Structure 1
């Protein structure tokens, strides 16, 4: 029987509706079994995501993503119901690649990549069991699952920097004298810091999640959707700069009595609500015509026969084997690394130019290291102290991580982050790269040079350190991982601090190179 192209599934004959329901019955059971197995195999990753949703205000929206996806899929059930599911082996290959990618992330203990892999495995399972046409018809709702992944922390520092620059420029345009050093802003009336809570990351994530949902439900043209999503990205970033400027102005005009405590967080959420309303109002200017927005892209039901139970069962079994490849590999890695131990090197030896002195306080957050090496040195004549720190971690999954956003070389309650950069210095005719961190605490200034020793490799960036950790774990072999740091007071003369640190590295280059630049 010919079916008009614009006829919804609900208006089909009873016989046709019964046939379509029969076609979908077994594929849906197979998909349910595949998703259940997926969540069981990766229950630790799913539990880690849920724990972040529960404890973090920034990612609390993750608890709503699943119901929203189900709602969007229900809205497309007519279009999807017209398609005959066809199991696709390409989806199995995608599951295998994602599972192995999850294993690499697990070896490096990069939780966000593990969670991303799990989120993408859901549409990959749909692809394997139901086929690419079903995947394409459900593409947007399934892609929305990415918002369930607690990610975006890497944007915090760039957003802090943008907010600090925006605030300083706005204050100067307002005629207020201002001095800035990184994220630390000084005015004649008071001092301000653009802290992590002021980065606007929670506003940005919430805005993009809302913007994507609004664009999907409101527009049909791709350019309209992309335009609104772009607006949802740009507006909260700029608005957060305006918010920070406004908070500083309120504090200055009230003689530091208002907007200096928790009240400025409250102002932030109220301001964000207004920004969202403004964003939706602007979005109405390029809304689709009512007739276009309400049009259904209906097509005649697919006349292909339903997949056989044997075909479905075989594809489901292949999908489950591909999905299990990552967890099996990680179990084998854990077994091989179970007896990993840590040996600590000796600190650089004192000499006439750099005698050892009583170790001063160095408060940091590398508290779960397997061991530490600490020593302080005074330059000849007592011109300046250089503090040495090395923290060692075992190359074993499940142990305390070496590379983590929670590991800091300073006490965040005592010091303010004033900036950092990668710096290359020349030592004994060799180029030596370090990460330079600059800190402020009142009138005090502190400079820290640091690097990682991952197996036999000298690494300075966190992403590279994570990548080499994964490589070393997958290729096997005993090793230890180190973070090494040198610190000195810099006052208002950073070049003198750099010269002091360079001189220390040069004086102890042989020991550092053999034991701390690349761990054995």
Structure 2
């Protein structure tokens, strides 16, 4: 085939077919990503990200030239191969976030295959901008949200106190005396942070200034979001103290959110204006972010359609990816046999227990398969221990173990001490017991908490290692089942914390022999596969 005389329609049809095939291969991941944009307010800006990227590439199309030789496309082909490997690993572990990032890598590789290294240099930042459309995994989102809640609550309370109003803070609960305000997930600031970070990245790209200024413009989006969200919480607290809880509800609450976001944007532009003055350029507000003139001059030249034979290699690789995706789609978890928590004993040694239950709201949030809550008490000593375990037969599609570190700050509790401990005299599945040990406080009340993650025969105390082994075992064992075990005992005002430690230690001696029947280890017999759906 004479590549010089190939009709433009054929060239564009081949690359269009490659792009369409890419979307077919990653269709499930793209659909889930779009669903998140629709249902999760933190990512409602996601629809605009690809549109902005397309516009930025279109403006600079005069700098793009379709390469002809396969050698010039080789870097792009290598990137596609890396992206497809990431996609295959994500498919084996059914981690949609990994598949979504793999989509961006393959898309970048296709761009490099078409336009070569020069094209990658031109399109690097617009393509990198697409990262902002991929939602974070839920466990990162939960951890980030809980930390931002506490920071925003503390700064908001400081603002309220500066207004000469008596206020008391318990974790994420702001106590104004006659009113109590809880800083929930929706008020953590993530709804500002992700859109503002995207906007700050775009502004930094289009801002004329040295790299360090561009970097500071982008990085300033997080402290700016935290500060302004805290200011909003403080203002709401002042309004509620004067005019009641109606000031924190309905239209006014939503309007305050929009107003604060617009104020964040204004402060971002003020920052860029200050940087322009420092650099000696006295730019007006309207000139801070604009398309460079040199882009406009080169944009008049359209891309000359040249057939690059590498497009056939791209199509072949994507067909292999499509075949792999169909194979992985039918892959099902191996689910080990276990006893249901419904049969868990309410008598352990000298401990007598009563079952407790979660409300439907928490069941919907946790998405667990099975759970048990038993409030145990020793009749002769009146010592009490709350035992809770949540079991997941499959931790795919958003159904994952929730760390107590993310949940404890709710309802005013604060973690005053946190460490890991190992008990060599206590064993589970033939291993010395390892637990997270936390002392939590709410006002004058104290509780001692032990918890760990029992995952396919492993005792894990780090939630990030839980995710790593979840990924590893999904590939090597085709299993993603796992559980959380948590023990809580109240600590009296005058009680030594060592006494509470001893209480939980004694309770564990009675508890651990019962757990293996309910929490499967590495050896699974018999086994069966999860039913579709």
* Paired residue secondary structure (2:388): strand
Cα deviation per residue 1:106-134 (whole Å; 9 max; x = unaligned)? 44444333322223332122123432221
Shift in CA distance, 97/179, structure 1 to aligned 2, threshold 3 Å:
same
**Residue 461 of structure 1 aligns with which residue?**
462
**Residue 91 of structure 1 aligns with which residue?**
76
The answer to whether the 8 Å contact 2:46/2:132 transfers is: yes
1:76 aligns with 2:60: yes
**Residue 294 of structure 1 aligns with which residue?**
293
* Paired residue secondary structure (1:343): coil
**Residue 47 of structure 1 aligns with which residue?**
31
Shift in CA distance, 163/173, structure 1 to aligned 2, threshold 3 Å:
same
**Residue 399 of structure 2 aligns with which residue?**
401
**Residue 11 of structure 1 aligns with which residue?**
none
Aligned with 1:158 (options 136, 139, 147): 147
* Equivalence map 1:70-469=2 (5 Å): 70-81=54-65, 87-151=72-136, 153=141, 154-219=143-208, 221-254=210-243, 256-262=244-250, 263-287=252-276, 293-295=292-294, 309=308, 311-320=309-318, 323-324=321-322, 327=325, 330-331=328-329, 334=331, 337=333, 340-344=335-339, 347=344, 350-354=347-351, 356-363=352-359, 364-365=362-363, 368-373=367-372, 375-381=374-380, 383-395=382-394, 401-403=399-401, 415=411, 418-419=414-415, 423-429=419-425, 432-434=434-436, 436=438, 449-469=450-470
**Residue 59 of structure 1 aligns with which residue?**
43
The answer to whether the 8 Å contact 1:45/1:114 transfers is: yes
Where in structure 2 are there 5+ consecutive unaligned residues? 426-431, 524-533
CA distance in structure 2 between the aligned counterparts of 1:81 and 1:103, rounded to whole angstroms: 31
The answer to whether the 8 Å contact 2:421/2:434 transfers is: yes
For residue 477 of structure 1, report the CA deviation from its aligned partner.
6.1
Cα deviation per residue 1:402-433 (whole Å; 9 max; x = unaligned)? 43699998998xx5564597532353545622
Which stretch shows the higher mean deviation, 234-243 or 67-76? Answer: 234-243
CA distance in structure 1 between the aligned counterparts of 2:496 and 2:97, rounded to whole angstroms: 36
TM norm structure 2 = 0.77
For residue 243 of structure 1, report the CA deviation from its aligned partner.
1.6
For residue 228 of structure 1, report the CA deviation from its aligned partner.
2.2
The answer to whether the 8 Å contact 1:31/1:130 transfers is: no
CA distance in structure 2 between the aligned counterparts of 1:95 and 1:158, rounded to whole angstroms: 37
CA distance in structure 2 between the aligned counterparts of 1:220 and 1:411, rounded to whole angstroms: 42
The answer to whether the 8 Å contact 1:59/1:150 transfers is: yes
CA distance in structure 1 between the aligned counterparts of 2:84 and 2:476, rounded to whole angstroms: 18
Where in structure 1 are there 5+ consecutive unaligned residues? 1-18
For residue 328 of structure 1, report the CA deviation from its aligned partner.
5.7
For residue 498 of structure 1, report the CA deviation from its aligned partner.
5.0
CA distance in structure 1 between the aligned counterparts of 2:516 and 2:296, rounded to whole angstroms: 66
For residue 240 of structure 1, report the CA deviation from its aligned partner.
1.3
For residue 298 of structure 1, report the CA deviation from its aligned partner.
8.0
The answer to whether the 8 Å contact 1:390/1:484 transfers is: yes
Shift in CA distance, 292/481, structure 1 to aligned 2, threshold 3 Å:
closer
For residue 436 of structure 1, report the CA deviation from its aligned partner.
4.6
For residue 74 of structure 1, report the CA deviation from its aligned partner.
1.2
* Paired residue secondary structure (1:36): helix
* Paired residue secondary structure (2:503): helix
CA RMSD across the alignment: 4.3
Q: Give the paired residue count.
A: 490
Cα deviation per residue 1:316-344 (whole Å; 9 max; x = unaligned)? 24532564476266347x15x4x634322
